[in-house]
Copies of this chain bind each other. A is one copy, B any other.
Amino acid sequence: MAKHYENYDRILVALDCIIFGFDRSGLKLLLIQRDFEPEKGKWSLMGGFLNREESLDQAADRILHKLTGLKNVYLEQLYGFGEVDRDPVERTISIAYYALINIKEHDKELVEEYGARWFPIDDLPDLIFDHSEMVEAAKSRLKYRASHEPVGFELLPEKFTMPELQILYEDIYQTKLDKRNFRRRILSTNVLNKTDEKQKKYSKKGAYLYRFDHEKYEEKVSSGESLVFKPLKL
């Protein structure tokens, strides 16, 4: 620690958000098209700069809100990217955050205004600066997180079917999972409530809708039960 603070460099602190969404066709990322130089026209993560009077978390929230119109979404700090030449304009560091949002709920007008688009996680365009690196880090963090905590539900609507949940996990883990083993393990956590409604959009037979039970989950966690959402060994 320094004796005085006067002689040190003040630096631009950026924040970049990796925004995950999910629908039946798979896991997706929300990207914007940069409308200014450098790298104008190229795809990038939604970002912004830290203001002196807000915390890192608040700044990330603000930036996410600006693009999606959403508040109170799952948002976790990922990593600080700090190569000297990461931004050609000026020395910056960037703290990357990743968000899990319900893809149905974001503000489509805002997204349009920003020239943003959802991309399938396995078919992303080239990104500016070190943003691809950030995305890779986010994917692997999500993998880890999803196998320890029920974050998957952040990406789903309130009611969802088992096949949907399975597609989500398969996309997160990038593997095929066995239907029977998957159901058994997910249901054995005892934090899903089966409704008697059926989702008939995607099949003739229809699939039962389930709801994640936050209270039951919190109960289990606080009673020290180690709840693991690991539908396969990784």
By a beta-carbon cutoff of 8 Å, the part of chain A in contact with chain B is: 1-5, 8-14, 32, 34-36, 44, 46-57, 59, 77, 79-84, 89-93, 95
Contact = CB atoms under 8 A, between A and B. Distances in A.
Nearest to A54: B84
Question: Which one of A4, A59, A84 has the greatest number of beta carbons of chain B within 10 Å?
Answer: A84
Given A13-B11, A80-B77, A84-B55, A1 B95 contact: no
- 5 smallest CB-CB distances across A and B, nearest first, come from A56-B82, A10-B10, A8-B49, A9-B52, A1-B47
Contacts of A77: 79-80
A208 to B, nearest CB: 32
Given A10-B10, A11-B50, A90 B5 contact: yes
Copies of this chain in its oligomeric complex? 2
A79 B49 CA distance: 18
Given A1-B44, A36-B3, A48-B1, A53 B10 contact: no
Nearest to A39: B1
Contact of A84 (B9, B53, B80, B91): B53
